[in-house]
Structure 1
Amino acid sequence: MPDCFLTRGGDRPARVFCFPYAGGDPRVYLEWQERLDDHVDVVAVCPPGKAHRAHESLPVFDDLADDLATAIADEVGADPRPAQLFGHSFGGLLAFEVARRLRDLPAVGHLTASGVSAPSLLPSDRVRRIADLDGAEFADALAYFGQFPPEVVADKDVLNLLLPGLKADFDLAVGYRYRPTPPLEIGVSIIVGTEDPHVGDVQVAPWAKECVEPPEQLRVAGGHFYFDPDPEPVLSLLRAHAEATTHVEVI
């Protein structure tokens, strides 16, 4: 398996490729494996600059989406189990653009975009403004998303470790340019926290233009990081999609 993928999975009937949010460690998704039971193998997508690839520099957004789409296409070509894509926040946008590039790959059957506005609205003015900040101002601005608890913001040593990668992700997000293409023919789900200050109904509505069938929309209790500490709302969704792609009726 390429070094852009991390997994603790095995030979479960389906797979989900999980894209990290800005500043996120893709390895956190591996903690979901045990709770997904026998339904789906978790494959954490690890772009340059993350985890064991921390020494690698990030490419521009389109090149990153191209590279990850190629890697997933190669992986699914070698192992054609049904696959779905999941991404939160910036990872949801990246998963969407990868789904666009994989539209001719039958094995990839569903996209779940979590905590992210419709791509046609991105990058938002708020993200642009935050990306222009540095140091403590940048960290303070991220409190809006619930990215850091107060004790982390107050710890300069911890911030010095976390901020460079997060700032690189924000710069990458600001470089995104939406381009209209034919809508996705696969299933699309949008899941957002009820108290998310960044993504509301206005930001979700234009997702309908990105898919042939109206997207499934779920609002769950919590803020932007609604799945912390309990990811069950999104795990239930991933289980259901995996079961839908692998279920065979016996008559």
Structure 2
Amino acid sequence: MSDSPWFVSRPTAGLAPYLVYCFPHAGGNARSFLGWQSRLGSDAELVGVCAPGRGLRLAEPAPATIAELAEGAARAIAAAADRPFLLFGHSFGAVLAFEVARRLREQPLLRHLVASGCAAPRLLPSERVRRTAELTGQDFTEAVSFFGGLPPEVLAEPELQELLLPGLAADFRLVSGYRYQPAAPLQLGISLVNGREDPHVGPAELRHWEHESVLPLRYHWADGGHFYFNPDPAPAVDLLRSLVRADSGAPSPREEHVELI
């Protein structure tokens, strides 16, 4: 895998035939995906996408818009991808993955987009996200707790909030500034995976994804809320493995954790 600062990975023992680029949620860490590698095994190499101004790249200037971030990520992937690949993004990461897919639409190695926990881009930003992005301090912390994913100790400790939440707040501002631009639908499949109890994203918010691909959408539902893959990532990983194996002609494992409708 490329040694670009855009990427982190835990390479497989041999050269995996497939790459899975993963875009984290708002405030998320690309390295958090690396624990999924053991579940994918040798089917694919999982690659976390690291944004400038976040995590290990904190000293670099942060992009001012999702479009600017998508341009940089798309250039890095186009330069590094030497095998078939798919894009996976959760929440904020799904919007970013979608915009990257648009910029890579002529790249034949791009095979699929998986959007997790995310309303259709043409509906974004939601009113709740816009309001949350305007808040600061404890008001912001309480507002983002609606989505889940914040450990109880962060909610209880202002010192931890000062340390951990600036990146989350910056990502909320990026999403709040997102403006969907109509374009031709993608010539690749899109799979949607969501928690049944997600308070922010449901069937009504998902159906407009149908405008973004010439192919029928595939809907997957998992038990849980917005962060349905915590603590067990099986719903997401099983879907990724099935897509990789289907594209490479290998038998797919039975999807025990994700219901296809």
> Taking structure 1 as the reference length, what is the TM-score of the superposition?
0.95
Superposed CA deviations along residues 20-39 of structure 1, whole A, max 9, x for unmatched, are 11000110001111111111
Amino acid at match of 2:236: V
How many residues of Structure 1 are paired with residues of Structure 2 in the alignment? 246
Where does residue 160 of structure 1 map in the other structure? 162
**Residue 178 of structure 1: aligned partner:** 180
Is the 8 Å Cα contact of residues 111 and 189 (structure 1) preserved in structure 2?
A: yes
* Structure 1 position 50, deviation (Å): 2.2
- Which residue of structure 2 aligns with residue 55 of structure 1? 59
- What's the secondary structure of 2:181's corresponding residue? coil
1:75 is matched with: 80
Contact 2:113/2:191, CA 8 A, preserved across alignment: yes
CA-atom RMSD, angstroms? Answer: 1.2
**Aligned twin of 1:187:** 189
Tell me how far apart the structure 2 counterparts of residues 58 and 92 of structure 1 sit (CA, whole Å).
19
- Following the alignment from structure 2 to structure 1, what is the Cα–Cα distance between the partners of residues 61 and 137? 20
Partners of 2:250 and 2:160 lie apart in 1 by 50
Residues 54 and 62 of structure 2 are in contact (CA less than 8 Å); yes or no, is this contact kept in structure 1? no
Deviation at 1:211, TM superposition (A): 0.6
1:194–1:223 contact (8 Å) kept in structure 2:
yes
Indicate the structure whose relative CO is greater, using CA pairs within 8 Å and at least 6 residues apart: 1
Q: Kindly report which structure 2 residues correspond to 1:1-251, keeping only aligned pairs within 5 A, or say none.
A: 1=2, 2-10=4-12, 11-59=15-63, 60-76=65-81, 79=82, 81-247=83-249
Partner Cα separation in structure 1 for residue 227 and residue 152 of structure 2: 15
Contiguous gaps of at least 5 residues in structure 1: none
| Contact kept? 1:111, 1:188, Cα under 8 Å | yes
Aligned-partner residue type, residue 68 of structure 1: A
Deviation at 1:248, TM superposition (A): 6.8
Equivalents in 1 of 2:9, 2:191: separation in Å? 23
Shift of 1:151: 2.7
Deviations 1:177-217 (A, max 9, x none): 10111111111100010000000111001001111111100
Runs (4 or more) in structure 1 with deviation over 2 Å come to: none
Contact 1:85 1:95 in 2 (8 A): yes
Secondary structure, in 3 states, of the residue corresponding to 2:165? Answer: helix
Contact 2:71–2:100 (8 Å) recurs in 1:
yes
Percent of aligned positions that are identical: 50
Structure 2: stretches of 5+ with no match in the other structure: 252-261
Paired residues of 1:27 and 1:51 also in contact (CA < 8 A): no
The amino acid that maps onto 1:74 is A
Contact 1:135/1:163 (<8 A) preserved: no
